[in-house]
Amino acid sequence: MRQKKHIKKKLTGQTRTVLLFNKPFDVLTQFTDDQNRKTLKNYIDIPDVYAAGRLDRDSEGLLVLTNDGKLQHKIANPKQKMPKTYWAQVDGDITQDAIDKLCLGVELKDGLTLPAQVKKIPPPDVWERTPPVRFRANIPTSWISLTICEGRNRQVRRMTAAVGFPTLRLIRYQIGQWTIDGLDNGKYRVL
C-alpha cells in the first residue's frame, strides 16, 4: 500500500522540487504582476514552485524556489535562523567602526538587529547590473559580506544606512548551504 501512495504522489506532481535562481535586478519575486513588471514567470518555466522568502525588486542574487511547504517555511521563517549571506556595495569606504557596529547589532526603528557576521571584501567578480549603480567620482564605494539570521524588511539596506554607509547594490550570495556559485544571473538550476 505504501508503494502505491508513493507512486500516486509522484504522478500528481508531489515529488519535492528545489531550484536555485540567480534573480536579476528589477525582477519581482512572484509569478504574476498586474503592472506588467518582470516577474519569476519571465525566467522560470517549472510549474508549482514558489519562492521561499523574498528578495526585493532592487536586490539581486540567490532565491530558492520549491514546492515543499516545510522547506519553504524553514527558509523564510526568521525563527528558524537560517543564515543568509549578502554582498553589499556601499557608498563610501566603510570603516572598521561601522563593521564593528554591524557585528554587534544595529538599532533600527523596529528594534535592535541580531549580531551579524560582517567583513570588508574586495569587489566580487559578478555580472554587470542593468542599469548600472550610480558612481560619484569624488566618493568611493566598498563591498562587505554580511551574514544575518533574521529576515526583516529591507534589513541589510537599513543596517548599512544606520552606520552611515548606504547600500548601492545588494546581492544575496548564500542561503544555508546553497550559493550562486556557477549560476549565471537570470538562470536557475534544479537540485
- Nearest one of 39, 47, 45 to 23, comparing CA atoms: 39
Q: Which three cell numbers stand for residue 99?
A: 563593521
- Cα dihedral: 122, 86, 190, 128 (round 10): -50
Q: How many CB atoms lie within 10 A of CB 134?
A: 9
> Which of 56, 93, 110, 181 is the catalytic position?
56
Q: For the chain, percent helix, then strand, then coil, each to nearest 5?
A: 20, 30, 50
Q: Is 130 helix (H, G, I), strand (E, B) or coil?
A: coil
56 given a catalytic annotation: yes
The residues that are catalytic are 56
